[in-house]
Amino acid sequence: MKAEWKNSSIVKALLNGGFDEEYIEKAIENGDIILEKSKTEEEMEHSKEDGEKNVVDDEKHIEDLEEDEDEDDDDIEDLDEDIEEKSKKKKSKEKVEKSFDRDLMKSFGFEMKEAFREAIKEEIEPLRKSIEAIGAQPTPFRSEGLDNATFLQKSISTMKDDNGKITVNIVKQRPLARTLIEKAIDSVQEDEFLMKSIGDDAFAYLTNPEAETIGEGLARYMYDSKNVKFVR
């Protein structure tokens, strides 16, 4: 048997398995057994070098992977830092915005309050002047030797009902009703909100000599605060 065949791992396995050399040779020659081509020393050397090169390449690849992993870790840390920084900036921005909103609302609320006050003053001032002008006129029910106070006191004493309310007919007792309303207006002129509530009703009645109704706001105020019950 050829020496190169004997070095084959397949032939060695067959010999160890009890097959004789003649049978193996015929099988090889007939093509029943195919042996791997034996490598020359040069080819074996090249294979060895290629193997070593592959090992080196594998080691370098492993190093590259480890470096990539380290870079990925660094990137993750940077990302975490960026997220934390953005979160801090967002919270700081929200805090500033809330503070700004509070200041804006305070300023807006103050401006609205001042504007409201000015609007009330502008509406009330003409009414106040009109009422003062009406009050300065002589009352139509003044008679000789009898001033308003005396007339008012005597009239009131005879018109109180069982509940202590003064009943005044706004048509038949118009002079008395006018005097009571004028005195009530004089007592609340400094109260802008109350003047706003009853001023229009008072002005409407006092400036209309034929008025047969009194506004609900004025009537309720006179009843609750002055014990005067207006009737018709």
Res 218: pLDDT: 94
pLDDT at 44: 61
pTM above 0.85, yes or no: no
pLDDT score for 222 = 93
CA distance 126 to 117: 15
User: How confident is the model at residue 145, as a pLDDT?
Assistant: 39
User: What is the mean pLDDT of each successive set of 10 residues along the chain, which is 232 residues long?
Assistant: 77 84 84 70 67 76 83 83 83 68 54 58 60 56 44 55 87 93 89 88 92 94 93 91
What pLDDT, on a 0 to 100 scale, did the predictor assign at position 86?
Answer: 83
pLDDT at position 72: 79
Nearest residue to 217 via CA among 230, 190, 208: 230
pLDDT of residue 98: 62
DSSP lists the bridge partners of residue 168 as 230
Question: Based on the number of CB atoms within 10 Å of its own CB, is 203 exposed (0-12), middle (13-18) or buried (19 or more)?
Answer: buried
The two most distant CA atoms of the chain are separated, in Å, by 170
Task: Please report the pLDDT score of residue 112 as a whole number.
Answer: 53
49 sits in which H/E element: helix 41-136
Q: Tabulate helix, strand, coil % of the chain (nearest 5).
A: 70, 5, 25
